[in-house]
Structure 1
Amino acid sequence: MSVNRAKAGLLAAAVVPLLMASATVAVTAPSASAQPSGADACAHPTWSNKSPGKGTPKGDSAKIRTGPSEDCSVVKEVSGSTVLQYHCWVENDHGHKWTHVRIDGKDTNGWVYNDRLDDGGSKHPDNKC
């Protein structure tokens, strides 16, 4: 066997595993268009106090969340008798309307899905966040 053939064989033995490893990385790399999920999908839109309205949770309770989505963390779960002061509303990416609220007499605030509010929440066009 010539010296050049031996060198070529060693070079191939070193390069082939590197090429295979890079091909594996390229195949398993995450897509740039992957959508966030869970808490990473929680948007925090700006809000202001535009609504003079107030209401209570529909049924036994409602969850006040950090953003207008079920993907957002729960700030507090309130009973059906809790008075909530309305601030404004938004429509999320799924077409669901959420109202930004504050518990009456407290500093606790966040977002409640309008279907969980006794009167459907803040929804007047002038009250949009």
Structure 2
Amino acid sequence: MRLFRTAAAIASAVLLTTTLGLTVASPAQASHFCGSPAYQNVDDGYGILKGGYNLKTAPYSDCFNVAYLGKGTKLYIWCQVINEYGNFWVYTRVAGTETYGWMSWDNFSEVTGNRGHCTPYLL
């Protein structure tokens, strides 16, 4: 009888761990699109943020944050992509830093450059 209780306890622990693992992992996961596309510096422009926004790890709003950037921050633009929702995003470097990430075109008040596309186009 003791062996049965031990086996039942182990089976319950495994089931609970598996269930909790799936439950805990799901909310923490970002969009399945959060793998960053390839990027390279093919643009000589920059953009100025019109408000405070999060720099992202990939070109989607639900991807992970790299850094919060305030209004007026200057970002050097490397290249752009159009994501699966048809939104334009640019890969950037924050002026005066070695901080890189993705920012939506919608967040800029001023933009210069040639809008070069990131290659290969991997979204």
Q: TM-score range by the shorter chain?
A: 0.5 to 0.7
Establish whether residue 49 from structure 1 lines up as the match of residue 38 from structure 2.
Answer: no
Q: What's 1:128 paired with?
A: 117
- Bigger strand fraction: 2
Q: What's 2:5 paired with?
A: none
Larger Rg belongs to: 1
Q: What's 2:58 paired with?
A: 67
Paired with 2:29 and 2:114, the residues of 1 have a C-alpha distance of 26
Q: CA deviation at 1:40?
A: 4.6
Instruction: Give the one of 75, 100, 119 matched to 2:110.
Output: 119
SS at match of 1:118: strand
Paired with 2:88 and 2:111, the residues of 1 have a C-alpha distance of 9
Shift in CA distance, 40/95, structure 1 to aligned 2, threshold 3 Å: closer
1:48-79 CA deviation, whole Å, 9 max, x = no partner? Answer: 001110111112x1210000001210101101
Q: CA deviation at 1:91?
A: 0.4
Paired with 2:99 and 2:68, the residues of 1 have a C-alpha distance of 11
Unaligned runs of 5+ in 2: 1-27, 119-123
Instruction: Give the one of 78, 84, 89 matched to 1:87.
Output: 78
Q: How many percent of aligned residue pairs carry the same amino acid?
A: 30
Q: What's 2:4 paired with?
A: none
SS at match of 1:90: strand
**Higher RCO (Cα < 8 Å, 6 or more apart):** 2
Paired with 1:121 and 1:66, the residues of 2 have a C-alpha distance of 23
Residue type of the alignment partner of 1:78 = L
Paired with 1:44 and 1:121, the residues of 2 have a C-alpha distance of 23
Q: CA deviation at 1:109?
A: 0.5
Unaligned runs of 5+ in 1: 1-36
Residue type of the alignment partner of 1:104 = A
Paired with 1:122 and 1:89, the residues of 2 have a C-alpha distance of 11
